Chains A and B, each alone.
Chain A
Amino acid sequence: MRSAFALIAGLLFGLGLVFGGMTQPAVVLGFLDVAGAWNPQLLFVMAGAVATTAIGYRLLLRRKRPLLEKTFHIPPTRQVDMRLIGGAAVFGIGWGLVGYCPGPALASLAGLSPSTLLFVAAMALGWWLGARLPASRS
């Protein structure tokens, strides 16, 4: 049951990425290229996603618990530290280098392109390494 809902959520998410153009690195890089031929498309995707999620979360999180679990799993950390800023900076550099962030890269695996496979393999290695860096279990 949990997996069925997760599958539907993943499917909806993937459809959103496809319609949003996020599975095209050229569109993403066009958004990040503010000094060139700027493509604002990603802004519309983000705005649609954030607005919808904000309304839904507001209604949902009034409840005591989700449908299939005992509690909501909301990250408890509130601290803005160097790990947050440094990690986000390293992520941003990688994002700008190729135009893939994790969701679109995984969804693009469907295309079986060697470029996507290489990126995803390196990203998975990065997750594995990142989890083994000192003090990462905070």
Chain B
Amino acid sequence: MNHFYIPALGGTLIGLAAILLMATLGRIAGISGIAGRLVEGCARGDRAWRVAFILGLILAPLLVQAIGGNSGIGTPDSSSLQLALAGLCVGIGTRISGGCTSGHGVCGVARLSVRSIVATLVFMACGIATVFAIRHLGWGG
């Protein structure tokens, strides 16, 4: 068993990031929304903060590494086909439902949005079902 205070501390940092973004820019810290709008095209003045946020995300593991820690980055144990299919599903699904683990799962649940609570239950259930199908029913394995 791992020590669970470190993951809880990680969660707290995610919460602080969400609070900071709401306090300054008045935005929900939803990654699919922040990055997705960049891909689909948004107003010029709306771009820089999104790029900066994503840059911060990418810099985080490098910063941990630079101060002597483990970057914490793991490599997915999946085929190219699985990676491409999964990426497409995650992109389309989060765009259509308007959020992902952060936007719905953290920020939405935190403000008790019924939509976000429903979305979170659905994507958790479907994630669990998918892992069950692959690991215990031998689908796609």
Contacts and interface: CB of A to CB of B under 8 A. Distances in A.
Contacts of A74: 28, 111
Interface string B24-38: 111111011001100
Contacts of B93: 87-94, 126, 130
Interface in A24-76: 24-27, 29, 32-36, 39-42, 44-54, 56-57, 60-61, 65-69, 71-75
Contact of A84 (B87, B98, B126): B98
Interface of B: 2, 4, 6-29, 31-32, 35-36, 39-40, 48-64, 71-78, 80, 82-98, 100-102, 104-107, 109-111, 113-115, 118-120, 122-132, 134-136, 140
A96 to B, nearest CB: 3
Interface in A5-34: 5-27, 29, 32-34
A111 B115 CA distance: 34
B83 A122 contact: yes
A38 to B, nearest CB: 10
Contact of B92 (A46, A90, A106, A110): A90
A79 B113 CA distance: 10
Given A125-B87, A127-B35, A23 B115 contact: no
Contacts of A121: 87
B56 A11 contact: yes
Interface in A75-118: 75, 77-80, 83-103, 105-111, 113, 115-116, 118
Tell me whether chain A's interface is mostly helix, strand or loop, or mixed.
helix
Question: How many A residues touch the partner, as a band?
Answer: 35 or more
A98 B2 CA distance: 22
A131 B122 contact: no
B49 A23 contact: no
Contact of B97 (A17, A51, A88, A100): A88
A126 B95 contact: yes
A16 B11 contact: yes
A68 B28 CA distance: 14
A70 B93 CA distance: 31
Contacts of B115: 75, 77-80, 84
A88 B119 contact: yes
A90 B57 contact: no
B36 to A, nearest CB: 4
A48 B87 contact: no
Interface centre among A2, A7, A90, A92 (most CB of B within 10 A): A92
Nearest to A33: B131
